[in-house]
Amino acid sequence: MTECVVAGERLVLLAQRAAWWPARETLFVADFHLGKAASFRRAGIALPAGTTTENVERLERALEARAAAHLVFLGDFLHSAEGRAPATLERFARWRAARPGLAITLVRGNHDDRAGDPPAEWDIRCVNPGEALGPFALVHEPAPVRGGYALAGHVHPAVRLAERGGQSLRLPCFWFGPRVGVLPSFGAFTGSALVRPRAGDQVFVVADDEVIRV
């Protein structure tokens, strides 16, 4: 994990591709895409089973040793209506039932608009983009918000690191500009998009079990 200061607040960036805000006991996660593999399998595309368990276990590791009171999904929690497979929903429901005291907020993203809100019994508060939390404006698609520093997801940011000899690595990243911060995609099989940070931006890559400033 690596620490940085964003909008005057200390954030701890985790190798699980989540950001921890100690002052508010809040964990931020973007682009969970629950049910994506199930959705593709229903379309006849062979993807391995078990991705929901992998994502849930990684989420649990991000919460470990942290007295989290609040979990915020920055959009695209559910991948699609087709991804609501019984096994997928049951696996997340068991995890949710084991953490009844954890407040969860979902900022609706473009996939959530199509997939619909999570089951009511999961007790996830669903809000539209622009919700204020301290100095932050919680959104899904990265764009400046008047009166707050926008925390977003959506683009699945990555950067390419080149070394002498022509070899390069493409790695997911946290990307914090002057008015907008973008978290890496949390979910499996979500892909990534290369971004072009500007001078002065804070960029941190996720490399195996490390978060490294570049």
Domain spans of the chain, in order of start? 2-213
* Per-residue model confidence (pLDDT) at position 164: 65
Q: How do residues 81-128 score in pLDDT, each as one tens digit? A: 565 778 789 999 999 999 999 999 999 999 888 889 999 999 999 999
Q: How do residues 30-85 score in pLDDT, each as one tens digit? A: 999 887 655 544 544 444 555 788 889 999 999 988 989 999 999 999 866 565 77
Check residues 117 and 187 and name the one with the higher pLDDT. Answer: 117
Rounded Cα gap, residues 3 and 161, in angstroms = 21
Fold of 2-213: Purple Acid Phosphatase; chain A, domain 2 (3.60.21)
Dump the DSSP string for the chain: -EEEEETTEEEEEETTTEEEEGGGTEEEEB---BTHHHHHHHTT----S-HHHHHHHHHHHHHTTS---EEEE-S--B--GGG--HHHHHHHHHHHHT-TT-EEEEE--HHHHHH-PPPGGG-EEEE-TTEEETTEEE-SS---BTTBEEEE-SS-EEEEEE-TTS-EEEEEEEEE-SSEEEPPB-STT---EE--PPTT-EEEEEETTEEEE-
